[in-house]
Structure 1
Amino acid sequence: MLARGERTGYDIAAAMRRPVSYFWTAGHSQIHPELQKLLAGGLVVYETRHGPGPQDKKVYRLTPEGSGALREWVTTPPRERPERDELVLKTYASWLADPPLLKRLFADQLALHEARLAEYEREEGLFGEPPRPGDPKFGNYATLRCGLGYERHRAEWCRWMVAQLSDSL
Structure 2
Amino acid sequence: MRRVADETNRRTLPATGWAVLGLLSFGEELSGYDLKKWADLSLRFFYWSPSFSQIYSELKRLETAGYASSRLVAQETGTRDKRVYRITGEGMAAVREWARAAPVDPPVLKHGPMLRLWLGHLLEPEQMREVLVRHQEFAEDMRLRAVADAESVQGEAAWAYPALTLKWAERHYASERDLAAAMLEDIEALAAAASSAAAAEQGEQGERP
Tell me if both proteins adopt one fold, taking TM over 0.5 as the criterion.
yes
Q: For residues 7 and 144 of structure 1, do their structure 2 counterparts lie closer, same or farther at Cα, with a shift above 3 Å needed?
A: same
The residue number in structure 2 matching 1:156 is 178
Does 2:141 align with 1:118? Answer: no
Runs of 5+ unmatched residues, structure 2: 1-22, 193-209
Distance 2:87 2:154 in 1: 31
- 8 Å contact from structure 1 (residues 106, 158) kept in 2: yes
Rounded Cα–Cα distance in structure 2 between residues aligned with 1:70 and 1:41: 12
Q: Is the 8 A contact 1:103 1:166 kept in 2?
A: no
Name the structure 2 match of 1:2: 24
- RMSD over aligned CA atoms reads 2.4
Deviations 1:73-127 (A, max 9, x none): 2222234564322222112222221112211221121122123223334555667
Identity %: 21
Shift in CA distance, 54/126, structure 1 to aligned 2, threshold 3 Å? closer
Distance 1:122 1:11, change over 3 A: closer
Cα 1:157–1:81 change in 2 (3 A) is closer
CA distance in 2, matches of 1:127, 1:40: 32
The one of 39, 42, 65 aligned to 1:19: 42
Instruction: Evaluate the alpha carbon distance shift between residue 111 and residue 70 of structure 1 in structure 2; reply closer, same or farther with a 3 A threshold.
Output: same
How far apart are residue 34 of structure 1 and its match?
A: 0.3
- Give the 3 Å change call, closer, same or farther, for CA 127–81 of structure 1 in structure 2: closer
CA separation of 1:82 and 1:7: change in aligned 2, threshold 3 A: same
- Structure ID, larger Rg: 2
Cα contact 1:106–1:162 (8 A) shared by 2? yes
Contact 2:74 2:81 (C-alpha < 8 Å) held by counterparts: yes
How many Å separate the matches in 2 of 1:20 and 1:106? Answer: 25
Structure 2 counterpart of 1:51, from 53, 75, 88? 75
1:147 equivalent in alignment to 2:187 = no
Q: Deviations for 1:16-41, whole angstroms, at most 9, x for unmatched residues?
A: 22133223211111011100100000
* TM-score normalised by structure 2 residue count: 0.69
Count of residue pairs the alignment pairs up: 165
Q: Which amino acid aligns with 1:12?
A: L
Give the direction of change, closer, same or farther, for the CA distance of 1:83–1:118 in structure 2 (3 Å limit). closer
The AA in structure 2 aligned to 1:70 is V
Give runs of ≥4 in structure 1 deviating > 6 Å. Answer: 126-129
Q: Does 1:35 align with 2:42?
A: no
TM-score where L is the length of structure 1: 0.83
AA matched with 1:14? K
Structure 1: distance between partners of 2:74 and 2:131: 51
Greater displacement, 6-15 / 116-125: 116-125
Decide whether aligned partners of structure 1 residues 91 and 148 sit closer, same or farther in structure 2, where only a CA change above 3 A counts: same
Instruction: Give me the whole-angstrom Cα distance separating, in 1, the residues matched to 2:71 and 2:151.
Output: 38
CA contact (8 A) 2:113 2:131 kept: no
Task: Assess, with a 3 A threshold, how the Cα gap between structure 1 residues 38 and 85 changes in structure 2: closer, same or farther.
Answer: same
